[in-house]
Every structure is written in structure tokens, then in C-alpha cells.
């Protein structure tokens, strides 16, 4: 009991830090994320005025990290919204309707699950033009098959339970059964899937940004910061350490939350 609470506790505390950083970036930092006012201090190591140092073109790295939380959380939220909303609708429909629709959805998800998800993201980005929005869409699509499969499985197993049979016996339609009877019982699973997808979306978006596919260089994103600072990491390694820590911290917070939620709902 104590253990399961601690996972949720640590996870939500860690996540709160990230959310605060994103929300208060402007208030915390006296600098702007793209201001190059410290050119004379380029590649300066961490100090009292610049806690994480200054990057190669004279921008304060801590400021960029704080604003980066915005970009990262924004992309992850967008991607997860796409994956979870669309995934729940498709998975639920497949689980309840059965027949050819179910067969088509199941085969499509099986097929897509064979692809490494970063590859799906890459493919989506060859069609879309590179931008943070495209990355969110690409990552959302890449996360879709997992959500569909899990939601479908849950709906199929719930459909056989007595409360659903009872509802069906009273003459409730498919739509009513799916939304009013089964969906509330799958809320826990969907919440777990949401936190899990948020974590993997952060990782994946950072990966795509690291490959240089986010496009706009004026948006500080952690993966892109790593890409930019790679060239100087022999002389200024702290510039590379910081964004990676930020990514790990955020993903870990989501993974802890999802583990905690899973145990609570079991």
C-alpha cells in the first residue's frame, strides 16, 4: 500500500517540477530563449549568473531548458491527445462492433506494430513538412497502434461480462453499451495508457528533433538542443548533459505515474 502510493507521489512531484518550469519559464528567467546577449561568454561553464552555462552562440542554457519544457510538453500532449482519443474510439469500436470492422482494425494494428515506432514517425515526417506540429502528429500516429490494441482487448473482455449482458438484455444499443457501460470500467486502463504514451511521446519527439526533423530552430526543444550542442560537447560537455537529464527526468516522471496508476487500478 505504501509502496504503490510512493510511485504516484514521486512521479507527480517530478512532473509538477516540469509543469512549473514550463508555466513559469518567463517569470523565472531574466533572459529570453533566443537572446544572444552573452556572446562574449560563449561556452562559459556553469556559474552563479548562468547556472547551466552559456551555449555556443551566447544564449543562457537554463533559460532554453525552461522554455524547452514548453515545447516538449506541448508536443507530447498533442501527440498523446491524438493517440489516446483516436485510439480509444477505434479500439472501442473494434471491440464492440466485431465483424469485418474489428478484423480490419486488428490486422492494421498488428501490421503497424511490426514497425519500430520511430520509423513510423520518420515516415510521417517525409510527408508532412518539418515543424513541431508535424512532430506531434507523427508521434501521435506512431503511438496509435499500441493504444488501439490495448483498448480493443479491454473492450472485448468487458463485453463478455454480466453487466454488459444485462444491459444488452434490457435492450441497450451498441453505442449506449460502449459509452455508458464499458467505457467507465476502462477509465483506469485509459489513464495508464495516457501516462505511458506521454512518456514515450517525449522520448520519441526528442529523438526526431535530435535527427533534425523539428524544423524551426527558434523553438528551443530538448532533443534539438542536444543536436545543436553535439558539435561543442568535447569542450563544453555540460551543455549536452543538461537537456538529456531534463528528458530523462520528464519521461521517468510519466513512467512512474503510469506504474503507480497501474498498481492502483489492479
Partner 1 sequence: MHVFLLRRIGSLVVALFVASIAVFLLVRAVPGDPARLLLKNPTPERIAAIRQRLSLDRPLPVQYWIWLKNALGRGSFGESIVTGRDVKEDLARTWPATIELSVVALLIATAAGVWLGIFCARHAGTWKDALGTTISLVGLSVPVFWLGLLAMLLFSLQLGWLPAGERGGLDHLILPALVLATIPAAFVARVARTAVLETLGQDFIRTARAKGASERTVLYRHALRAALVPIVTMVGVEFAYLLGGAVLTETVFAWPGIGRYIATAVLARDYPAIQGALLVLVAMVMIANFAVDIAHHALDPKLRR
Residues in touch with partner 1 (CB under 8 A): 111, 113-119, 122-123, 125-127, 199, 203, 206-207, 210-213, 223, 226, 230, 233-234, 237, 240-241, 243-244, 247-248, 251-252, 255-256, 259
Name the residue nearer to partner 1 (CB basis): 62 or 178. 62
Least CB distance to partner 1 at residue 204 (A): 9
Least CB distance to partner 1 at residue 34 (A): 23
Name the residue nearer to partner 1 (CB basis): 42 or 123. 123
- Alpha helix stretches (DSSP H) within the chain: 2-23, 25-28, 61-81, 87-97, 99-113, 117-127, 132-159, 162-169, 174-176, 183-185, 187-210, 222-229, 238-265
Contact predicate 58/38, CB 8 Å: yes
Contact predicate 238/262, CB 8 Å: no
Least CB distance to partner 1 at residue 263 (A): 12
Least CB distance to partner 1 at residue 60 (A): 21
Least CB distance to partner 1 at residue 96 (A): 26
Least CB distance to partner 1 at residue 67 (A): 19
Name the residue nearer to partner 1 (CB basis): 88 or 117. 117
Contact predicate 202/254, CB 8 Å: yes
Contact predicate 72/205, CB 8 Å: yes
Name the residue nearer to partner 1 (CB basis): 14 or 23. 14
Name the residue nearer to partner 1 (CB basis): 219 or 224. 224
> What are the beta bridge partners of residue 60?
54
Under DSSP, is residue 51 helix (H, G, I), strand (E, B) or coil?
A: coil
Name the residue nearer to partner 1 (CB basis): 178 or 243. 243
Q: How far apart are CA 169 and CA 181, in angstroms?
A: 13
CA 189: distance to chain centroid?
17
Amino acid at each position: 500500500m505504501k509502496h504503490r502510493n510512493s510511485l504516484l507521489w514521486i512521479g507527480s512531484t517530478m512532473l509538477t517540477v516540469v509543469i512549473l518550469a514550463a508555466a513559469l519559464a518567463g517569470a523565472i528567467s531574466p533572459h529570453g530563449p533566443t537572446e544572444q546577449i552573452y556572446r562574449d561568454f560563449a561556452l562559459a561553464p556553469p556559474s552563479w549568473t548562468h547556472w547551466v552555462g552559456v551555449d555556443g552562440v551566447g544564449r543562457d542554457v537554463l533559460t532554453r531548458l525552461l522554455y524547452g519544457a514548453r515545447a516538449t510538453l506541448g508536443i507530447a500532449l498533442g501527440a498523446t491527445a491524438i493517440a489516446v482519443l483516436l485510439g480509444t474510439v477505434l479500439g472501442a469500436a473494434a471491440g464492440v462492433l466485431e465483424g469485418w470492422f474489428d478484423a480490419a482494425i486488428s490486422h492494421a494494428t498488428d501490421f503497424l506494430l511490426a514497425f519500430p515506432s520511430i520509423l513510423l514517425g520518420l515516415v510521417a515526417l517525409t510527408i508532412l513538412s518539418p515543424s513541431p506540429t508535424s512532430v506531434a502528429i507523427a508521434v501521435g500516429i506512431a503511438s496509435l497502434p499500441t493504444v488501439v490494441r490495448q483498448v480493443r482487448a479491454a473492450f472485448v473482455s468487458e463485453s463478455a461480462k454480466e453487466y454488459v449482458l444485462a444491459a444488452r438484455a434490457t435492450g441497450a444499443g451498441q453505442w449506449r453499451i460502449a459509452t455508458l457501460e464499458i467505457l467507465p470500467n476502462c477509465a483506469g486502463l485509459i489513464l495508464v495508457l495516457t501516462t505511458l504514451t506521454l512518456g514515450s511521446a517525449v522520448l520519441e519527439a526528442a529523438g526526431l528533433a535530435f535527427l533534425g526533423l523539428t524544423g524551426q530552430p527558434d523553438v528551443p526543444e530538448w532533443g534539438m538542443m542536444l543536436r545543436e550542442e553535439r558539435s561543442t560537447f568535447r569542450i563544453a560537455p555540460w551543455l549536452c548533459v543538461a537537456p538529456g537529464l531534463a528528458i530523462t527526468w520528464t519521461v521517468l516522471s510519466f513512467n512512474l505515474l503510469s506504474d503507480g496508476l497501474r498498481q492502483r487500478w489492479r
